[in-house]
A and B are shown apart, each in its own frame.
Chain A
Amino acid sequence: MLNAKEINLVGLAIALLFIGCVEPFEAEVLDFENALVVDARLTNEVKQQQISLSRSYRFGTEALLPETDASVQIIDENGTTYPFVEDEPGFYKSTSAFAAQPNVGYELSISTTSGTLYQSETVVTPESVAIKELKAELDVSDSGEEGLQIALTNESARSEATYFRVEYEETYKIIAPFYNPSEFEVVDSLYFTIGDQDSFEINIIGRTEEAQTCYGTNISTAILLSDSEGNSGGQTGKTTVRFLRSDEFMISHRYSILVKQFGLTQEAHGYYATLDDFSSSEGVFSEVQPGFLKGNITALNSDELVLGYFEVASVNTKRYFFNYTDFFPQNPLPPYPINCEPTGAPPLISYNPHIDGEYIVDEASPQSPLLNGILSGAIAYHAINEEYVESEDVIQPPAGEAPYFVKATPCIDCRALGSNVKPDFWVE
């Protein structure tokens, strides 16, 4: 049995999009079935293992409904019980740190406050296979775009087929192109009120926090599977984890990817493959027949459907760094995700006294673009408008003039796109 990973037949069928079309639609809400969702992943890392329990919700609604106050435990085939306690609503942590041992079977059992008992099949920890190599290579995508392919290869060939699910966490350096060491400070003015409206003093102060260099992080959401079934000598071959276009903003400076390879059982791999089939982009012509996807957990004393899976995995991770210039020394940097060319000069409105040559006070009215922009975080301080004349003797400067030049916040302050805390693993 070969997994359909390479045979993405459904994808091919978009050929006729030119006359056909695929468009989003507001799906009607039909029947709803309330089911327990088990998201349980036991790994071979020594840690407080975590299991999350929630309920399914009506299609189209956002509410995440945690399953609270359940009793959760994992029992291994030697009879050892690992109890779990609720840490946050719906999140259960093992009371002690432990790791799944190779070739040992585990069972998950859950009992909810409604009295329903759930039991998983026994899952034996698959053997661990280390990642041999993780690297990026220049490549051309399926649709003909130049870029980098990040692929992993595995350590050793085994006679038995091995199955993997791959997740990644990518972190990339962001440098604000119009970084300014100063920023606006907005202070509720104690001195002025106009009618019911409050007033604010706007000032320029030196930055106290890092805002030039930040780090953005994305976590993979798609299901990425690989296996060595059908390969000679049990090799897993090369698994493409990520394809990044050469003009992808994330790789502008330095990029790092942490790849987690979860060694799975064949059954778990099959479960994920089907889940992926049911939830990935279908073709226009042929659509995989969906149906209820049964995991390895069943309700013992009820007919209730159970969603999710109790996965026991052996995890191996590898991190990889590269700079844009390693691959594209000649290219200009990829474009920043927002256009930083426009510079704005939001005018002051109405009553704009100016005190001591330091503060600009503006009304907190909907009409003040400057104040609204600052308070909403959309704009950041770029420069002083030199043409704006400060006049000592004029108590009320003319309205409609702009004291400052501003730009969109992400152009000046990288915190709009990432965190200014350098991750522990980061190496330059």
Chain B
Amino acid sequence: MKNTILVFLLLFMCNILAAQEPAEKVTLSYTDATIKDVLNRIEASTSYQFYYVDEWLGGQMVSGSYEDVPVTEVLEAIFKNTILNFYVLDNEKIILTQNNIIYDELPKGFFEKSNLQDVQVTEEVDDTGSLNPVFVADERLPKQRAVETVRIGKETLDNQKQRYTLSGYVKNARTGKPIPDLSLIIRNRRVGTVTDENGFYEILVPVGENLFETKALGIESQQKRVLIYNDGQLDFDLNESIEQLDEVVVEADKTKNVEEEITGSTTIESEETKDIPMVLGERNILSVATTLPGITNAGEGATGLNVRGGKTDQNLILLDNGVVYNPTHFFGIFQALNPFVTKGVDIYKGNVPAEFGGRLSSVFDITTIDGNVDTFSGEASIGPVTANLMLEIPVVKEKSSLVLGGRGAYSDWILRSLDEESLKNSSASFYDIVANYTHKINENNQVKATGYYSKDAFSITSDSLYGYSNRLFSFDWKHKFNEKNNGNLIITNSEYAFDIDFDGQANNDFNLGYSIGETEAKLNFKFLWNDNHTIDYGISSKLYNVKPGFIEPTGTESIIRPFSVAEDRALESAIFIGDNIKIGDKIGIEAGIRYSFYAALGESTQRVYAAGQPRNQATLIDSVSYNKNEIIKTYGGPEFRISGRYSFSDDFSVKAGFNSMYQYIHTLSNTTTVSPIDTWKLSDSNIKPQRSNQVSLGFFKNFADDMYELSLEGYYKTSEDILDFKTGAQLLLNDNIEREVLQGEGQAYGVEFLVRKNSGKLNGWLGYTYSRSLIKFASDFAEERINGGEFFPSNFDKPHDVSLVANWKFTTRYSASVNFSYQTGRPVTYPIGQYNFNNSEYVFYSNRNEFRIPDYYRLDLGINIEGNHRIKKFAHSFWNISVYNVLGRANPYSVFFVSEGGEVKAFKSSIFSIPIPSITYNFKF
């Protein structure tokens, strides 16, 4: 990924007004008024607006009387005896500054890297991440003066020294105050120094001609030709400089790759993914994630991701802190997230911060954008399948904003235009809506509320309609207690539900449904103890409510008996603390511990089976009833999240980590890949939580001024009590689900290689992963064993995985993208023979996953055309033309054997078997 970058506007100014348009004139008089009052009066009578911090104004009283004079004259008078300066911007904003220090500390590495000019995407700096900003001024300092030559020291004959000591004092020419942190560079010698806090400096200077240059924020640069003959002193009186920058780019996280302590983390910006060709032109951040090492899926059209050999239910997918159970539309082909409202995703696949928990494999922490608080703006797109509109509406100027996003599919036309007879009556549609509201109450308090809903509905036959939906609400209140302490209160509620409406010819019409809901409260605190310790701690608790399945008759004729599986409830809580420790420059440690605690709650009836026996009707020995909120069974334990970094140099580090997790809810699925009607089950007295431990080791190296990032990571992960099912298990509406469940162990390991180029005309990444994912279900009883109780490859065990994503910018407007991926074919269960039974042929199977479908490879191409970049233009447009699967390879997705008309036939299926072209039009306003 490109570095995360922060763009903001900075203004540099001094008390000397640069040539401005003539200031508006005012007439006013005041006696013993506070400055604030005067400013308010000026604001009221002119179009000016002032920007300042109240505390600066103090209690000083001013008096004066003016008639039809420029505002600047009044201001000069009232600020005369203060330390405040003012600056008139665009003839409508007046910015006050205290002293002339805008940025009170120079970032390290400021000068060395100042020749970088790339303007990239925006993102807030993550304050847990490392920060090494680079400021880039688009406009250079004002004209330079003619270079003055200075001679230092008296040349002596006995002088044999090569270097002499030059010292001096630098002060502000206007105020006479010393200028600290000013850089003095000898350009022709490539040496330099910085003034101390009192403005003094000292430097060893070679004999002869030296070209001195001074540099500091807000200070005019000065050059001097200094001829050194002996030790001496050189003082500088410098003017403040005014410098209005249209845009300043702060590149943070540029060295995150090598500096962050935790292993196995990645960030993807939604905006970045717009150039990557995708199916039917739909931007898909989750598909982009699969091009990164360690993240795969079972194939196109397989809902869910497999992270480092984990099952699809082991990913915690958060949208503004709320859980999204199924973040995809249409069998996983499209993301159910609005790409314009989605800011980006932080993916943790190795070490997971202690604040997160509840899933074994990964956390996808997706955030939405914060709305524009200044101007109304938006973004829209039209593609072959969906249309999307996003609006950013300022509510209280500069304080709060509302973001609304809506996306809908009109894919029915595709289905209707088909020749395939059986699909004529089918329909498929989806939509998702998202809204958020951000409000900056004051310096110390900020709130954000997000609402989200996505819905899919499809019907293949005329008698049944399937639907599933995600609903989410989240509220986040950020509070800053003081400079060192801040915290968040987070409340979320989310629900996933599906239903099937059957309206057939016979008298058995029904509606069948499932839902899982959770409500969580979380308190998160951060304590910036000192430079070496940053402590995150908090507590969270969530309540689950699951309706594991219900069926009810529809219509008066239906003979279906209403039935529902008893509801499941549980409380999952955690307390966590993590410390980011720096030991010198070389060593960083992220040490976290999370204690999670789970309680399955009544009301419920739990079945008790004979110990050491397979669970079935015959071994059922008792049933125990629990009252509402009575604790049925508790689980819990400590989860360790420890990782460390040792830096060999600024751009090379090694990291190691240990991560352990608990997972208390499980998906029930008897299919080889995930389907939308898979259900989630809470742990109870018969089904234990899943656990995992992962160790990882990685080497991280940046090259060529951080332009290239290289990483090599290895991991070994074991998991326990992962779920699988007896052959042919019926999972829907099953009251005794524990009789179908098997719990076993998993083992995954791999090596991930990634090289990434973040800037320049050509950027992108190349990843290669070798990994294995094995599972084992052993038991004393044959009915509870799979593959003889030995380890066997999971459904998504794809050892070799190569991904290339590249973008070539021809000009600022035109770019071309290419996306290539190759994967070993996934394992499938293959027949080991055929037999005749009851007038028909059948195949039979024995061990699972002993055969692989052919390897998968695919090439996508895209061309992106940006509208022109004139800033003032009403709308900024963006065209994306892409072809998915250019090679038209029919990548097998599955093979299956059907007994039809008494004979066995073998079929293979593929999802996108031909090149899929598409055009999408986006515009921003």
Contact = CB atoms under 8 A, between A and B. Distances in A.
A57 interface: yes
A20 B893 contact: yes
A308 interface: yes
Interface size class of A (residues with CB under 8 A): 35 or more
Contacts of B908: 22-23, 25
Contacts of B553: 232
A8 B850 CA distance: 27
Contacts of A140: 462, 505
Contacts of B834: 56-61
A59 B907 contact: no
Nearest to A13: B331
B910 A292 contact: no
Interface string A1-33: 111101111111111111111111111001111
A39 B837 CA distance: 6
Nearest to B725: A289
A221 B835 contact: no
A342 interface: no
Contacts of B561: 230-233
A20 B507 contact: no
Nearest to A54: B836
B458 A15 contact: yes
Most chain A beta-carbon neighbours within 10 Å: one of B500, B551, B837, B897: B837
B681 interface: no
A24 B673 CA distance: 21
Contacts of B732: 2, 4, 7
A9 B466 CA distance: 9
Contacts of A308: 835, 837
Contacts of B843: 59, 279
Interface stretch (B50-58, B372-380, B423-431, B641-649): B423-431
A19 B733 contact: no
A282 B896 contact: yes
Contact of B559 (A3, A58, A232): A232
Nearest to B465: A12
B560 A230 contact: yes
A329 interface: no
B846 A287 contact: no
Interface string B901-925: 1101111111111101000000000
A139 interface: yes
A3 B730 contact: yes
Interface stretch (A235-243, A346-354, A408-416): A235-243
Given A11-B460, A33-B832, A284-B911, A294 B783 contact: yes
B155 to A, nearest CB: 84
Contacts of B795: 289
B675 interface: yes
Contacts of A117: none
A64 interface: yes
B844 interface: yes
Interface stretch (B191-199, B414-422, B579-587, B703-711): B414-422
A345 B900 CA distance: 39
Nearest to B740: A1
Contacts of A25: 895, 906-908
A206 interface: no
B244 interface: no
Contact of A18 (B423, B728, B730, B830): B423
A289 B672 contact: yes
Contacts of B418: 18
Interface string A276-294: 0111111011111111111
A2 B551 contact: yes
B730 A4 contact: yes
B727 interface: yes
Most chain A beta-carbon neighbours within 10 Å: one of B415, B460, B510: B460
A142 B463 contact: yes
B677 A289 contact: no
B815 to A, nearest CB: 27
Given A143-B425, A286-B674, A294-B783, A307 B414 contact: no
Given A57-B833, A142-B463, A16 B301 contact: yes
Contacts of A288: 670-672, 728
A33 B914 CA distance: 38
A203 interface: no
B786 interface: yes
B833 A35 contact: yes
A24 B907 contact: yes
Interface in B881-902: 890, 893-902
B507 A237 contact: yes
B845 interface: yes
Contact of B844 (A3, A240, A293): A293
B504 interface: yes
A219 interface: yes
B504 A1 contact: no
Interface residues of B, number: 104
Contact of B672 (A3, A35, A286): A286
B831 interface: yes
Contact of B301 (A23, A282, A285): A285
Given A14-B423, A280-B898, A30 B890 contact: no
Interface string B455-477: 00011111110100000000000
Given A15-B415, A17-B420, A56 B844 contact: yes
A115 interface: no
Nearest to A303: B782
B529 interface: no
A317 interface: no
B835 A35 contact: yes
Interface string A211-231: 000000001111100000011
Contacts of A14: 422-423, 460
Given A143-B421, A149-B505, A238-B506, A30 B851 contact: yes
A389 B471 CA distance: 87
A14 B415 CA distance: 11
Contacts of A291: 727-728, 786, 829, 845-846, 848
Interface string A48-62: 000000111111110
A258 interface: no
B842 interface: yes
A25 B851 CA distance: 15
Given A3-B730, A9-B675, A27-B897, A64 B907 contact: no
Given A1-B736, A3-B730, A238-B506, A27 B895 contact: yes
B424 A18 contact: no
A59 B831 contact: yes
B822 interface: no
B563 interface: yes
A151 interface: yes
Contacts of B422: 14, 142-143
B912 A37 contact: no
Given A15-B428, A30-B830, A279-B898, A21 B909 contact: yes
11 contacts: A15-B428, A17-B420, A18-B423, A23-B908, A39-B836, A56-B833, A237-B559, A285-B301, A285-B303, A291-B786, A308-B837
Please give me the 6 A-B residue pairs with the lowest Cβ-Cβ distance, nearest first.
Answer: A274-B728, A291-B727, A286-B675, A232-B561, A238-B506, A221-B902
Given A22-B908, A230-B561, A292-B845, 18 more contacts: A1-B733, A1-B736, A15-B415, A17-B423, A19-B911, A19-B914, A21-B909, A22-B909, A35-B844, A37-B837, A41-B838, A60-B834, A222-B899, A237-B507, A238-B507, A285-B331, A286-B673, A289-B848
Interface of A: 1-4, 6-27, 30-35, 37, 39, 41, 54-61, 64, 139-140, 142-144, 149, 151, 219-223, 230-233, 235, 237-240, 270, 273-275, 277-282, 284-294, 305, 307-309
Interface of B: 301-303, 330-331, 333, 414-415, 418, 420-426, 428, 458-464, 466, 500, 502, 504-508, 510, 512, 551, 553, 559-563, 670-675, 677, 725, 727-728, 730, 732-736, 783, 786, 795, 829-840, 842-848, 850-851, 890, 893-902, 904-914, 916
